[in-house]
Amino acid sequence: MAESSRWSWIIVAGVITGAAMVALQKGGQDAVVAPAVVPSRIDIPSLGIKAPLMKLGVTDGQLDLPPFEKPDAAGWVKESAVPGDPGSAVILGHVDTKTDPAVFYKLKEMREGQVIKVARSDGKVAQYRVDSIEQVRKDRFPADKVYLQDGLRLITCGGTFDWDKHEYRDNVIVYATLVKT
């Protein structure tokens, strides 16, 4: 999943805004404390996906991505909510590598009402129901909708591939609502 600089800045702005809102909602604490509980695995039964999750952050102003050497892994943006907790929980995964499909290759096939499960390090499993799926141009990335509304967000690349920029032109985003933890 190649990244354009503009898309990365939109994501970074969303993550920072979300983190600031969390800090304000917690009574103005000096810093947002890293959660002791982290997501460890994502399971999407309808697509046959069972994948480990790694922590992703922001490095040099760019959102980290799962390494291409681990195409079967997805990544949780650690500045977002822990799945199962209030807030927007964001998980990224590649659609493909140079030679093979990757973890979120079938993400565009998700349908409303399907189930997504996220295992957590505390032994709980957050279960979500898909509300909607959209494909959107990267230069029109809906940062407010992704980062400021409660629920799980799964994001990968989609649409046509721009061979000049070496990246996909669109993102596929799945929006899901927590049904139980």
**Predicted confidence (pLDDT) per residue in 49-70, tens digit:** 999 999 999 888 778 999 989 9
- Which two tokens mark 103? 């973890």
Q: Give the DSSP per-residue string, 64-79.
A: ----TT-TT-EEEETT
pLDDT of residue 27 exceeding 50, the answer is no
Mean pLDDT, residues 22-51 taken together: 74
User: What would you report as the CA-atom Rg of the chain, rounded to the nearest whole angstrom?
Assistant: 15
Residues in the chain: 181
Count of domains observed in the chain = 1
Instruction: Work out whether the CA dihedral 103, 105, 107, 109 comes out positive or negative.
Output: negative
Which CATH number belongs to the domain containing residue 47 in this structure? 2.40.260.10
Residue 143: which domain range?
5-180
Higher-confidence residue of 89 and 15: namely 89
* Residue 33: predicted pLDDT: 59
* pLDDT tens digits along 165-176: 989 999 999 999
Q: What is the b/e burial string over 71-82, where b = at least 16 CB atoms within 10 angstroms of the residue's CB?
A: bebbbbbbbbbb
Q: Round the average pLDDT of the chain to a whole number and report it.
A: 85
